[in-house]
Structure 1
Amino acid sequence: MGNSASLKNHVETSKKTGVLNLSDSHLKQYPETIDVLHPYLRTLDLSKNKFKSLPKTVGQFKELKVLNISNNSLETLPDEINNLLKLETLQLSCNLLKTIPILNNLSNLKRVSIGDNQLSIFPEFLCQLKHLETLDLSKNKITQVPECIKESRLVELNINQNQIRKLPVALAECTRLKTLRIEENCLELVDIPREVLKSSKISLLCAEGNLFDMKSLMGIEEYGIYMARYTEVKKKMF
């Protein structure tokens, strides 16, 4: 953002459009002048800046549906984000987050991205959000997937590039899970539950870069059942 006059113009325009894009604006601090937009904004993009923190006032954007604060230097998030009851998309990738608040009020969330952070524990509250379809937790330090994953309504789960050593059978009980990305973890072949291949809804399993070669996985009897689902989905796409 070149100067305060330019930011002021952005703010005035956003009152009409409901959208404020301050991505890649070389901002070191959250600009408090945008707080006048609390009643108006539906989309707020603060990505690719240098924020280390966000103020509690961010929780007053009650009309917000999309919040993008990826590619900053955030170490924590204010609990007040839990007040954004209309939020559908939350993008937090490429920060320094070790934990995130329990955002169990955000029942309208559909897409959450927390990739490339420093999480060591899978945020279990996400499994309770009944509208959450896509979850990206790639490039963290997560070691296990919780049993409560079976309660989720996820369609796609990305846990690539973590430190996961075992997958729970509960993944096979996810009623809507179609895509599972588990590349570059610490999984051995015995750590892939046969139920995931045989009886789940998963039709795209990306598992390269673990402690087994893909030929070994393909050699499992149940892999043929998974491939039948994969092929059926591919046919429907064309």
Structure 2
Amino acid sequence: MGNSGLKQHYDTAKKTGTLTLSKRKLDEFPPNLRALAPLLRTLDLSENKFLHLPSELKDFTLLKQLNISHNRLTDLPEEMGALVKLECLNASSNQLKMLPFSLSNLTHLKQVNLSDNCIKEFPFMFCGLKHLDVLDLSKNKLTDVPDAASGLHVTELNLNQNQISIISRKLAQCSRLKTLRLEENCLQVHAIPVTILKDSKVSILALDGNLFEMKQFADLDGYEQYMERYTAVKKKMF
């Protein structure tokens, strides 16, 4: 669709602060998009052909929601750290290997979806973000959950479908963590920290598809304390 076909979208965006440009075969910002930088609060660029995002992204400082999923991105620009009002970032289904440390500036983030990428190292830049509730790192190439992950304030951490074999016992120190998803990883039963079972607030611990039988999990020290939390949560749901 050419610029003339986009004009109506731009006109509407000026009124609503929302612009959807998904499935447009875009690999760079259309010229008129930059003029909307001072207005947009929601920008959807999903299902396009972006390999990189331009540095001009830093001008979109009012953005609260950014969807760049299902592109061909191999990195994110350092300038993303200027999007200080951003609350929801969806960069799933790309080819991201590294993330800019400037994302640690985004103190209003509530939800981050980085699933289905190529990330090998745990993204420390999200530790310390006190409003971040959900961090989805499923379908990546993580092999361990390091000590520094204890700085996360999330209530849900999704690590399904990685290659994780090591989990730091300090993860139990995450003061808000209630849902921990670790399905389809490379965990042996002894790699599950007793501290998470005994001393954490985790009430949903998803472990199917690892290198042990779930009956082995039930034999772990601390399993009963975990099940008390799990049962209490389930009762609240009904």
User: How does the TM-score come out when normalised to structure 1?
Assistant: 0.96
Q: Which amino acid aligns with 2:159?
A: I
Aligned to 2:212: 212
1:182 corresponding residue in structure 2: 182
User: Is 67-76 or 21-30 further displaced after alignment?
Assistant: 21-30
Q: What CA distance in whole angstroms lies between the structure 2 residues aligned with 1:151 and 1:45?
A: 30
* Distance of 2:41 and 2:32 partners within structure 1: 17
Does structure 2 retain, via aligned residues, the 8 Å contact 1:23–1:46? Answer: yes
Distance 2:90 2:31 in 1: 21
Shift of 1:125: 1.4
Q: Which moved more, 1:63-72 or 1:100-109?
A: 100-109
- Checking the alignment, whether the CA contact within 8 Å between 2:134 and 2:157 is kept in structure 1 is yes
Q: Paired residue for 2:22? A: 23
Correspondence for 1:107: 107
| Counterpart contact for 1:133–1:153, Cα < 8 Å | yes
Match of 1:228 in 2: 228
Tell me what 2:167 maps to. Answer: 167
What is the deviation of 1:219? 2.3
Conserved in 1, the CA contact under 8 Å of 2:28 and 2:54? no
The residue that corresponds to 1:63 in the other structure is 62
Give the deviation of 1:29 after TM superposition. 2.8
How far apart are residue 27 of structure 1 and its match? 2.2
Alpha-carbon displacement from aligned partner over 1:131-188 (angstroms, at most 9, x marks no partner): 1111011111111112122222110000111111111111111110000001111110
* Aligned match of 1:87: 86
Equivalent AA in structure 2 for residue 160 of structure 1: N
Q: Distance in 1 between matches of 2:139 and 2:29?
A: 26
The corresponding residue for 1:158 is 158
Distance (Å, rounded) in 2 between the aligned partners of 1:126 and 1:32: 32
CA–CA separation in structure 2 for the residues paired with 1:40 and 1:218:
54
* Alignment check: 8 A CA contact 1:48 1:70 kept: yes
SS in 1 for 2:145: coil
1:9, distance to aligned residue in structure 2 (A)? 1.3
Distance 1:16 1:80, change over 3 A: same
Q: What is the CA–CA distance in structure 2 between the aligned matches of 1:171 and 1:54, rounded to whole Å?
A: 33
Q: Percent identity?
A: 51
| Partner SS state of residue 48, structure 2 | coil
Distance in 2 (CA, whole Å) between partners of 1:221 and 1:172 is: 15
Q: Confirm or deny: 8 A CA contact 1:30 1:51 kept in the other structure.
A: no
Query: 2:167 aligns to what SS in structure 1?
Result: coil
> 1: distance between equivalents of 2:122 and 2:39?
33
In the aligned structure 2, how far is the partner of 1:150 from the partner of 1:77? 25
TM-score, normalization: structure 2? 0.96
Question: Which runs of at least 4 in structure 1 moved beyond 3 Å after TM superposition?
Answer: none
CA RMSD, Structure 1 to Structure 2 (Å): 1.1
1:200: which partner in 2? 200
Taking the TM superposition and a 5 Å limit, the aligned residue runs for 1:136-155 are 136-155=136-155
Q: Distance in 1 between matches of 2:220 and 2:141?
A: 29
**Unaligned 5+ residue runs, structure 1?**
none
What is the Cα deviation at residue 221 of structure 1? 4.0
Matched ranges for 1:1-12 at <5 A: 2-12=1-11
| Alignment partner, residue 129 of structure 2 | 129
Aligned residue pairs, count: 237
- Aligned partners of 1:205, 1:79: CA distance in 2, in Å? 34
Contact 1:124–1:146 under 8 Å retained in 2 = no
Give distance in 2, aligned partners of 1:31 and 1:146.
41
Give CA deviations for 1:1-47 in whole Å, capped at 9, x if unaligned.
x2321211111110100000112223233323211111110000001
